Every structure is written in structure tokens, then in C-alpha cells.
Amino acid sequence: MPKPFVKAGTMNSIKVHNASVTYNQLPVLWDVDMDLPTGRLIGIVGQNGSGKSTLLKAIMGLVPLSSGNVKIFEQDLDTIRTEVAYVPQRESVDWNFPASVQEIVRMGRYQPGRLFQRLTKLDHQLVEDALKKVNMLSFKNRQIGELSGGQQQRVFIARALAQGAKLYLLDEPFVGVDVATEKAIMDLLIEMKKEGKTIVIVHHDLHSVTSLFDYLVMLNTRMIAHGAIDEVLTTENLNATFGGQLNLFAQLQQIIKERDFPIREKGFEEK
């Protein structure tokens, strides 16, 4: 089957319908519904334990759904898996695994049905190009466990790039990286968006959401809101997502003022 060409804005990249996930009979995600557009930089925000990482894992089929379903580009994941690249949290990876940087990135080129086939000249070129894009080519023979946290994150992003996917799911890619690495990664993701790729990022730093993303998902076990960032970043949604964190609201108020975002609720600005 030929790979579908997905033009930005022509269909949903991800459609989640009535999705719930439970651990030990306790809800981690509850009745989540969302349609995410293509060709956007999408942030997922929420408190610790709000289900952000679980949502990505559910989309990738890494945790079972208690109810509901997920579609990727209007298809089942199994039929379009090669079009989806997933970068997990750094702490979930065994960095003692005896593999070089180059070997890790090559994993992005292995596909179902070719696991035991030799990589082609084109495959090797795509791996090299991916390493160049994240400025890690000179480290290609280094063991992955010898790298810094930021370098390890770049390698896993390179593996995703080598895959040549259309949808990228990144779980807190900026945790443990320095400012220069964060900027380099963001610049790369912005370029990917310009190419029509869709990037979904679980993000922990609310102070930077307005400068990083153009679309936001706000989660607190259930879906609070999703949409264009200037439409969903409201007092009501913030309270439902991060209820009780008043100091955080005060800081966000200043961010919103600086960005000239509209204030939709009366009483949000100080008198």
C-alpha cells in the first residue's frame, strides 16, 4: 500500500474518541475526545499525573484503552505505524544499552517486514542526514550512555527524523537539556512544521508555551480544552487544568499580557 500524502490542514492528524485508560482500576485518562490538525506544533500541558504521557502512549498503542479508539490520519495505527515517530521521556530509556549513536539512529530505518534486511545506501544517507540536522554526526561512533542528557535527546530525535514520519510525538524533550540544545531542537521542529509535519509535544514549562506552540491541549485526566493557543489559554481553562496554583496564574497573566493575547473572562486582570 502506498504511503498517504497528508497535506497540512486537509485532515486530522490524530482523532481520539471517548478514550479512557485505567491503572489498577483508577482512571488516568477519562473519556478524552480531541481532533488535532495537521501541520501544527501542538503542546500538551497539565499537572504532574494529569495523563499527558499516558495520552501519547495510548496514541502509540503502548498502553491499552479501557474504552474508546484512536485514529491516525483517519486510519488505524497498525496500517500507518511507519508514519508515526515516538520519542519517549529520557528517564524511561536504558542508557546502559550497548549501542552506538549511529546504531540507535539506524533503528529508525528498520520497518516491519525488513527487520533482518540490510540497510540500503539510501537508508545510510538518511541516517547521516538526520545526525547532521541535530549536530551529532561527529558523535556517531560514541556509545549512547557516554553522552550528556541533551545529546541523548538529540540522538533520539535523529532516530525519529531518520524514520521519515509525518507525525512526531515527543514526551518532554526539553527536560534535562541546556538552553542552547532546547533552541536547536525547537528550530529543527519549526522547520519540520514548515515541511508539513505535525509535531505533538508533552511540555512541562508553561512559561514558554506561548512562544513554542500554535496549538494547545490542556489535560487534567479529562480533556479541558484544545485549540489555537490564543483561544484556549483562558482563566477558566487554566483553573480547570492547574487549579489552586495561584502563583502560577499570576505569572501566566503577565505572559499573556506581554503576548497581547485576549483576556476572555472578566476579572482576570488585576483591578
Confidence of residue 114 (pLDDT cuts 50, 70, 90): low
pLDDT of residue 254: 56
Higher pLDDT: 13 or 264? It is 13
Query: Residue with C-alpha cell 538529540?
Result: 154
SS3 content of the chain, % helix, strand, coil (to 5): 40, 25, 35
Looking at residue 268, its pLDDT comes to 40
Question: Where is pLDDT greater, at 4 or 235?
Answer: 235
Q: Is the pLDDT of residue 269 over 50?
A: no
In this predicted structure, what is the pLDDT of residue 264? 44
Nearest to 84 by CA among 72, 69, 70, 92: 72
End-to-end Cα spacing for the chain:
61
pTM score, whole prediction:
0.83
DSSP state of 118: P
> Which of 181 and 37 is assigned the larger pLDDT?
37
**What is the spatial distance between Cα 77 and Cα 61, in angstroms, rounded to a whole number?**
8
Question: Hey, what amino acid is at 253?
Answer: Q
Over 80: is that where the pLDDT of 193 sits?
A: yes
Of 110, 95, 107, the closest CA to residue 153 belongs to: 95
Beta bridge partners of 36: 14
Q: Whole-number mean pLDDT of the chain?
A: 84
pLDDT at 183: 86
- Residues 9-44: pLDDT tens digits? 457 999 999 999 998 888 899 999 999 999 999 999
Which CATH architecture fits 12-95+169-259?
A: 3-Layer(aba) Sandwich (3.40)
Mean pLDDT, residues 73-97: 85
Tens of pLDDT, residues 129-169: 999 999 999 999 999 889 888 888 899 999 999 999 999 99
CA–CA gap between residue 187 and residue 197 (Å, rounded): 14
Q: Name, in order, each residue with C-beta under 8 angstroms of 152's C-beta and a sequence gap of 6 or more.
A: 90, 93, 95, 144
Alpha helices (H) in the chain, listed in sequence order: 52-59, 77-80, 101-106, 121-133, 149-163, 179-194, 209-212, 229-232, 235-242, 246-259
255 band by pLDDT with thresholds 50, 70 and 90? low
- Sheet of 12-23: strands edge to edge? 26-37, 12-23, 67-72
